[in-house]
Every structure is written in C-alpha cells, then in structure tokens.
Amino acid sequence: MRATGPPGRRHSTNRLTYSRARRTFNDMVESESPGLDALFHALGDATRRQMLRELAAGARTVGQLAQPFAISLAAASKHIKVLEAAGLIRREVQWRTHTCRLVPGPLADAEAWLAFYRPFWSDRLDILEDLLRADAEAPPPQTGDDQ
C-alpha cells in the first residue's frame, strides 16, 4: 500500500473518513424506515425507557432524569440525545437549565408497526393456551407402581 500524507507515515486514515456515500449491494439490509430504527434503538435501553416513563408524568430537568439512576449529568445527556434523535423528547434550554418534555407521536408509529404482528402472536398464544388446557385435562400417565 502506498502511504499518503506526511513522509514517514506508513498508514493512511483515508478509509476511515469517507465523505461520500457508499453503494449498498444488499438491499435487504437497508432500512426503509430509519425513524423506526432510531425509535427502537432508543427504546432498547432500560434507562431510556425509564426516562420516558418519568417524562410521561410531566417535564423534567436533566438532573431530575439522571437522579434515579445515579449517573452523571454527562451520561444522562447522552441518553437524552438518543431520545431526541428518535424524536421522543424535546429539550428546552433556559440559561443552564435543560428541561425535557415527552413527544409521544413516534410511539404511535411503533405501535402501528407492532400492530401488524399482533395477530400472529395472538394466534400463537391461543394455540399454546389450547395445548396447555388439553395437557391439564388429560389424565396423568400411569406408571408401573400404580398396578
């Protein structure tokens, strides 16, 4: 490999900083709904889910959101940025106070996506319930000791 950059430098970092879009050859891997991806990523962490639960009760400061978890304000801020990127919260800044509010709209998108799969799971759970009932109603198997 030919080195680029200052003399004496053997490795290039050019491949690490691509600025142009790369073509994807496997369209199945590409997401058709980046909003849902960001939403489920945000919901995939228990800390962020609890923060959303707190915000459902009303606006909270970053400090108030961080307090139940014994995490730093910087760590709480990172979680909040993920929630903001997913569109789940809105942060307002007044001087040094950052107040967060829940934006429930994206949750409706997630619910609509999940609703498509609800009949599948309902059918499967109904089948499981029938099997468990039949098993409970069946007489116990006889062993050689019962004779």
What is the chain's pLDDT, residue by residue, as a tens digit (147 residues)? 444 555 555 555 444 444 455 555 444 455 567 788 899 999 999 999 999 999 999 999 999 999 998 888 899 999 999 999 999 999 999 989 899 999 998 988 889 888 988 888 888 888 888 888 888 887 878 876 655
Beta bridge partners of 102: 89
Q: How far apart are CA 100 and CA 60, in angstroms?
A: 5
Q: How far apart are CA 25 and CA 27, in angstroms?
A: 6
List of residues 6+ apart from 72 with CB closer than 8 A: 66
Nearest CA among 56, 63, 135, 120 for reference residue 89: 56
Q: Where are the domains of the chain?
A: 32-131
Nearest CA among 24, 16, 13, 43 for reference residue 114: 43
C-alpha pair distances (Å), 139 with each of 78, 134, 136 = 58, 10, 8
List of residues 6+ apart from 77 with CB closer than 8 A: 62, 98
Question: By the 8 A CB rule, do 71 and 89 touch?
Answer: no
Q: How far apart are CA 43 and CA 79, in angstroms?
A: 11
Task: Domain 32-131: give its CATH architecture.
Answer: Orthogonal Bundle (1.10)
DSSP 51-63: HHHHHHTS-EEHH
